Structure 1
Amino acid sequence: MISLHWLILSPLIIGTTVKLMPIKAAKKIMVLFQTALLAAVTMIFVEVRQNGPLLENIGSWPDTIGITLRADLLATAMVFLSCFLFLAMVIFVHNKNYADHLFFFLFLGLESLIIGIFLSNDVFNIFVLIEAATLIITILIMYKQASVSVYDGMMYFLINVVAMSFFLMGLGMLYKKIGVLDFYALEAALSQIDNPASLILPYAFMITAVSLKAALMPLFSWLPKAHGTPSAPSVVSAILSGLYVKTGIYVFLRLQTTFAPLIDTSELFVILGFITAVVGFMLALAQTDIKLLLAYSTVSQIGVIMIGISLNNPAAYWGGLYHLMNHAIFKSTLFLTAGMIISEYKTRKISEIHGVYSHMPAVGVATILSILGIIGAPLFNGSISKFLIATGASGSWIESGLILINLGTIIVFMKYGQLLFGHSDKKEAANSDILEKAVVLTLSMLCFLGGIFGSDLIAILFNISLTINPLSYGEKMLLFVGSILLGLLIYRSLFKKRNPLAFIRSFELGFNEICLSITLFFAFMVVYLKITL
């Protein structure tokens, strides 16, 4: 079985080696390599599921001194998801002209860093990996060198550098006090501390940075600039929105688990998750650009995930993690199909795109299946994860809040879905690549299979048995039908011909305003912790 460090190093090595080959041969090698890597990760996943976590100390140093890699079930599941999506993306760009040697070097370098983030057991190593990923993502955003993309890329870079400076500050304070940076050693050491107030500053610094990486309210304004920038390749947008933003949620989970013996902010993050979800779908409704609409809907779905993992309820927690996986699939598909639509129609405005289903049937089918997944339609993957989160929230105010959030999501994708129908002005056949269509159709079918076999997949991925109560699920189906009807009424009466939220588009935070919001969030966390601890 392959060592854990080779999972991290091999994409970077292959990305460097193929620079010596002709690009056609390099692309074929990429597909073969990604397939082999996925198979290797699958073997490790099976090993971890059967025998427990794997630990690897690089250089044979003691656990708390050298670089330690740890593959537990969640980390391995996230690595499997990463390798699967990167395989899909490599196939998708196989015939793209922009996919040259440099692009693949950067793209596989990003894969290496993402895998490293999921497997690293050291807080400082995660900081270094995130900083390196920030640099690569900046270059990928600016890859086609359009002026808007260069601006968006630099904004992304500067904002994330500022945020990770907060993380480094908290990390340094924590190391000074505890003397270790290994997650599990930290958890053991923190459980022995009698004065939680002494950890307020390091926790506040670190959680501020992680909240920005996870795109929580009010720290998400960088995300649409990065994920929806006009000329960034669609595979870059798909990986950023479908996968990379989940690294922030993953590190958030790790930090919350580590600090849990002394600091519990779960109730706060349930509220922040709800606000993030509501603001996200409102901003999505305000958009006329299909990529920006999808980017803001990612913000909303992150809010749903944050609610699930912060509710302190097993059903909601596993539902939140399953929704994290589901979102990676349907949002990646939506960004890929959006890129294909933009390439065919030569516009990003929803109002100027019609008849996609008749003109590009494969893209239309993939888009519909993905939309059904994200709105939580019965028998689709999103319905299972949202049902579990709602089950965990049963009897609390957040149960009604989740209904509101899903209603907003339904209205957003009624607006987005209008591009599927109507009469297309295109006379000639769509110029769609067979590999592109195969990828988006495969990913979209997973949205359906993830609903039909939802309980089984959760059992496989997380080794936890959750039973979906047929009666309760049936009630949620009826609620979904009611939400569809209400959403249709609201969309037709308020959003079909005019947009009452259009004024929101004029509110855009610049670099100074975003830095101020980071500082205010940090100050709020300090005050909140001083009051509650």
Structure 2
Amino acid sequence: MINLHWIILLPIIFGTVVKLLPLKTAKKLMVLFQAVLLVLVFVIFIEVRKNGTILENIGGWPDTISITLRADLLASAMALLTCLLFLAMLTFVQNKHYADHLFFFLFLSLESLIIGIFLSNDLFNIFVLIEAATLIITILIMYKKTNLSIYDGMMYFLINVVAMSFFLMGLGMLYKKIGVLDFYALETALSQVKDPDSMILPYAFMITAVSLKAALMPLFSWLPKAHGTPSAPSEVSAILSGLYVKTGVYLFIRLQLAFSPLINTSELFMVLGFITAIVGFVLAFAQTDIKLLLAYSTVSQIGLIMVGINMGSPQAYWGGLYHIMNHAVFKSTLFLTAGMIITEYKTRNLDEIKGVFNLMPAVGMATVISILGIVGAPLFNGSISKYLISEGSSGSWIEYGLIFINLGTIIVFIKYGQLLFGESGKKETANSDILEKAVVLGLSMLCFFGGIFGSELISILFEVNFPVEILSHGVKLLLFVGSLFLGLVIYYGLFKKKNYLAVLNAIELGFNEICLSITLFFAFMVIYLKITL
């Protein structure tokens, strides 16, 4: 049996060792290493499926004292997703001029920390891992050392330090009252607490920080700065938007489960998720910068995920978890292809990019498939996760709200998809790097296979079975076609000639305003809990 702590330590150890090797050799070895790591994590995933949750106590101390690692189905599936995406990114970056020893060390260290967040069973350990990841991500955002990237990197760092200070405050209060921070022990201890009011402040402090990490309304304004900053390497943006933001959602799930004996805020966060989804696609549509459009779209999709996991329906919950996987794949692909497009066209302005299909056929194909995934087109991965979330909401107002959210997503990507068509103004087909094309096409095909074999993948990943009913799926197909037609009418009828939402681009929260929004969110949570408990 492979020890869990080696899965966390190996990337950072390897990233240190390869600094001693010539860069060309190091690059090739890193791809090989990542493939081996993916196999090792897959073996752990199979072991969890066969024998149940794996617990590992570092040092042999009792459960509530030692550093405890836990691999259940969700944690091992997320670790598997992490290794798969990092394998794709390390392959993608092979021929990049800025990819030196330091970049790879930082990138592999980030992988170690992300896997550690998923496998850790202790809230304080997670706090330490997130703080370390924040520092590394800040350096990666600023890696090309332009003025704007340095500003965006520092904004990201300072905002997350403030948020995690709230988290640490909640941890301290929780430990003082309960005496444990282990998730399993915490759930048991909280079930014995007779006064729920005593947990309001610890919960409010921690959930405020977690909501910011997950980019929920109104705490998402840091995300576009971090994920869409102009000079951040595209593979860094892909990992941040496709994967790292999910650590906030993952921690939200764990925290909600631990506090479930005393506090239930699922209905509140379902509503907040719904609002986040709407605000996200509205702000995405207002953008002309293709990376910012994709970044705000991530905010919208996180809102959709939060709706699913908080709805209280098994179908919606597992649909939300599957959408975490799906979004990681198609959004990573979209950010990588966007980076390739920006490199070729020397601009990020959507209005200035035309004819990608003719100039960059492989990139155009990967972009189309990823768009079909994110809008929930039949046969693609997003259709399965959105279908399950929609089925879980059947008969409620959320069902109609989800139709509206998907309509908004369709309109956003009708706008984005314009870069595929028209005349590029260049006579020759772009000579893109073969590895880059292989990666984006490979990831985009996962969007297709994730739709064709969606039910089977959900069964493999989560050991739950939700067969898709043909009649119900047929209704969803008609609904998608109708939404697509309506989206085309709305875009070309109202917004094609003039973007009436462009005025929203002038709205930008500074550091002080974001700190104020964090404080107000915390105050709102305290008042809400006081009223409802």
Tell me, yes or no, whether TM beats 0.5. Answer: yes
Q: Which amino acid aligns with 2:273?
A: G
CA contact (8 A) 2:373 2:448 kept: yes
- Report deviation, 1:66: 1.1
Give the 5 Å matches for 1:369-380: 369-380=369-380
SS of match in other structure, 1:43: helix
- Find the counterpart in structure 2 of residue 349 from structure 1: 349
* C-alpha distance in 2 between matches for 1:426 and 1:131: 46
1:255 pairs with 2:255: yes
- Find the counterpart in structure 2 of residue 99 from structure 1: 99
- Report deviation, 1:495: 1.6
- Report deviation, 1:482: 0.4
- Find the counterpart in structure 2 of residue 504 from structure 1: 504
1:213 pairs with 2:213: yes
- Find the counterpart in structure 1 of residue 112 from structure 2: 112
Any unmatched runs of 5+ in structure 1?
none
Alignment deviations for residues 323-369 of structure 1 (CA, whole Å, 9 cap, x no partner): 00000000000000000000000000000000000110000000000
- Find the counterpart in structure 1 of residue 286 from structure 2: 286
Q: Which amino acid aligns with 1:442?
A: G
SS of match in other structure, 2:69: strand
- Find the counterpart in structure 2 of residue 531 from structure 1: 531
* C-alpha distance in 2 between matches for 1:180 and 1:193: 13
- Report deviation, 1:213: 0.0
- Report deviation, 1:429: 3.0
CA contact (8 A) 1:54 1:71 kept: yes
CA contact (8 A) 1:281 1:296 kept: yes
* C-alpha distance in 1 between matches for 2:472 and 2:172: 48
* C-alpha distance in 2 between matches for 1:279 and 1:160: 22
- TM normalised by structure 1 equals 1.00
- Find the counterpart in structure 2 of residue 30 from structure 1: 30
- Report deviation, 1:466: 1.0
- Report deviation, 1:428: 3.2
CA contact (8 A) 1:344 1:431 kept: no
SS of match in other structure, 1:70: strand
CA contact (8 A) 2:375 2:409 kept: yes
* C-alpha distance in 2 between matches for 1:254 and 1:208: 14
Q: Which amino acid aligns with 2:243?
A: L
- Report deviation, 1:408: 0.2
* C-alpha distance in 2 between matches for 1:513 and 1:273: 21
* C-alpha distance in 2 between matches for 1:180 and 1:154: 34
SS of match in other structure, 1:104: helix
- Report deviation, 1:516: 0.1
Alignment deviations for residues 257-292 of structure 1 (CA, whole Å, 9 cap, x no partner): 000011000000010000000000000000000000
Alignment deviations for residues 30-74 of structure 1 (CA, whole Å, 9 cap, x no partner): 011000000000000000001001110001111000100000000
CA RMSD, 1 decimal: 0.5
Give the 5 Å matches for 1:83-482: 83-482=83-482
- Find the counterpart in structure 2 of residue 12 from structure 1: 12
SS of match in other structure, 1:262: coil
* C-alpha distance in 1 between matches for 2:149 and 2:171: 32
- Report deviation, 1:431: 2.8
SS of match in other structure, 2:70: strand
- Report deviation, 1:137: 0.1
- Report deviation, 1:425: 0.8
Give the 5 Å matches for 1:65-80: 65-80=65-80
Q: Which amino acid aligns with 1:402?
A: L
* C-alpha distance in 2 between matches for 1:59 and 1:474: 55
Q: Which amino acid aligns with 1:292?
A: L
- Report deviation, 1:149: 0.3
* C-alpha distance in 1 between matches for 2:12 and 2:43: 21
SS of match in other structure, 1:57: strand
SS of match in other structure, 2:55: strand
SS of match in other structure, 2:56: strand
* C-alpha distance in 2 between matches for 1:414 and 1:403: 16
Q: Which amino acid aligns with 1:491?
A: Y
- Find the counterpart in structure 2 of residue 44 from structure 1: 44
- Report deviation, 1:465: 1.0
Percent of aligned positions that are identical: 78
* C-alpha distance in 2 between matches for 1:188 and 1:468: 37
- Report deviation, 1:20: 0.4
1:494 pairs with 2:479: no
* C-alpha distance in 1 between matches for 2:524 and 2:152: 28
* C-alpha distance in 2 between matches for 1:53 and 1:302: 27
Alignment deviations for residues 174-204 of structure 1 (CA, whole Å, 9 cap, x no partner): 0000000000000000001111111000000
* C-alpha distance in 1 between matches for 2:115 and 2:446: 22
CA contact (8 A) 1:57 1:66 kept: yes
Q: Which amino acid aligns with 2:32?
A: L
Q: Which amino acid aligns with 1:101?
A: H
CA contact (8 A) 2:333 2:440 kept: yes
- Report deviation, 1:427: 2.3
Instruction: List structure 1 segments (4+ residues) > 6 angstroms apart after TM superposition.
Output: none
CA contact (8 A) 1:131 1:161 kept: yes
* C-alpha distance in 1 between matches for 2:393 and 2:196: 28
- TM normalised by structure 2 equals 1.00
